[in-house]
Amino acid sequence: MTDASARLSSAISDRYLVERELGQGGMATVYLAEDLRHGRRVAIKVLREELSASLGKERFLREIRVAAALQHPHILPLYDSGEADGLLFYVMPYVDGPSLRDKLIKEGELPIGDAVRILRDVADALTEAHRHGVVHRDLKPENVMLRGRHALVMDFGVAKALSEATGRQSLTTVGIALGTPTYMAPEQAVADPHVDHRADIYAFGVMAYELLAGRPPFTGGNAQQILAAHVTAAAEPVTTHRSLPPVLASMVMRCLEKRPADRWQSAEELITQLEAVLTPSGGVTPTATVPIAAVSRHAYRRPATVMAMLGVLAVLGFGAWKVAARRSPQPVPTASVVTVKRVGVLPFESRSRDTSDAYLGDGMATDLTT
């Protein structure tokens, strides 16, 4: 057990039993613990000691309190927060599942349906937070946990506490990055003091790009080069890496506009775009046109449609016969001899693997033969 974990464990032993370390990040270490009062497993995130000293208890806990008020199915709630032996910490439910980063490492680009479902949950969480005036400022796959088929966004309010408490320069001095360069909006990269919820829209676009393309729009080099790219470089169209439904590709690229005013202006707009992808007309399958065979398969299964097609084809066949008759006059038939032109129609070929409606092709051919 490290010195910090031993100090934490001793300081909160009346409330929590610290079991083991779950992981470390740039600004905190996460521990698995048991909530002794409520008999449940929790995750305790402890800020780095130098960061705790820079922040100050009151300012940090004030921002955490605002985030703790968020109650939503796709936001990981905050159970508790405090100071223990000079260490600032906050407590969340323990999610026995992977982070979105874990999923990306394992799978690379995600199936379109999976990506859209996850993004829909994240956009829903952002909508709720923004409605309450809470901006995440550090949205990234590491801050999205997966529980079954649902996504949970965590760490709302923490980045704001860091930025308002110390400012970017002093945080750089202690080696802490405010936001992750790969997902930072241009206005964050230049330390604009007026960052608002549209920075989250940009980070959402970066994350969506990565889920669909298997890589973020700007990579390589060091943090400064990535930040410069966010400010000055145009991202390659996401369709450069993968074929996508146009509405989905358009949604992603608009999120990545450099000027906040040119992006989607709310997370609710993102939900509208994602739901359009999920509708039959939106087409999760990225095709520009619908094959005739696909239309035929569905049409043949609707009796009313089948009858209408039969009627149209019958009229067309009769019309063609009449035209031919006018162009080639025939002698008036006598009662004993009738000459009839016959039109043969070959059986229709079904392009479907389903053979249950094959009889329709034979029947149509028979009915149209004169």
The domain limits of the chain are 1-94, 97-288, 292-368
Q: What is the model's pLDDT at position 296?
A: 39
The Cα–Cα gap between 157 and 155 comes to 6
Q: What is the model's pLDDT at position 225?
A: 93
The Cα–Cα gap between 102 and 4 comes to 26
Q: What is the model's pLDDT at position 317?
A: 52
Closest C-alpha to 46, from 61, 59, 27 = 27
Burial annotation 171-208 (CB, 10 A radius, 16+ → b, else e): beeeebbbbbbbbbbbbbbeeeeebebbbbbbbbbbbb
Topology given in CATH for the domain delimited by 1-94: Phosphorylase Kinase; domain 1 (3.30.200)
CB 151 within 8 A of CB 122: yes
Q: What is the model's pLDDT at position 53?
A: 79
Q: What is the model's pLDDT at position 233?
A: 96
**Residue-level pLDDT, tens digit, the chain, 370 residues:** 677 788 889 999 999 999 999 988 778 899 999 999 999 999 999 988 887 877 778 888 888 888 888 999 999 999 999 998 888 999 999 999 999 999 999 999 999 999 999 999 999 999 999 999 999 999 999 999 999 989 999 998 777 766 655 554 444 444 344 568 999 999 999 988 889 999 999 999 999 999 999 999 999 888 899 999 999 999 999 999 999 999 999 999 999 999 999 999 999 999 999 999 987 655 554 433 333 333 334 433 444 444 444 454 454 555 544 544 555 444 444 444 444 455 555 555 555 555 445 444 555 554 445 5
Q: Is 250 buried (19+), middle (13-18) or exposed (0-12) by CB count in 10 A?
A: middle
Could you confirm whether 196 is annotated as catalytic? no
Which residue out of 138, 192, 357, 362 is catalytically annotated? 138
Q: What is the model's pLDDT at position 72?
A: 95
CB 365 within 8 A of CB 348: yes
Report the top-level CATH class of 97-288.
mainly alpha
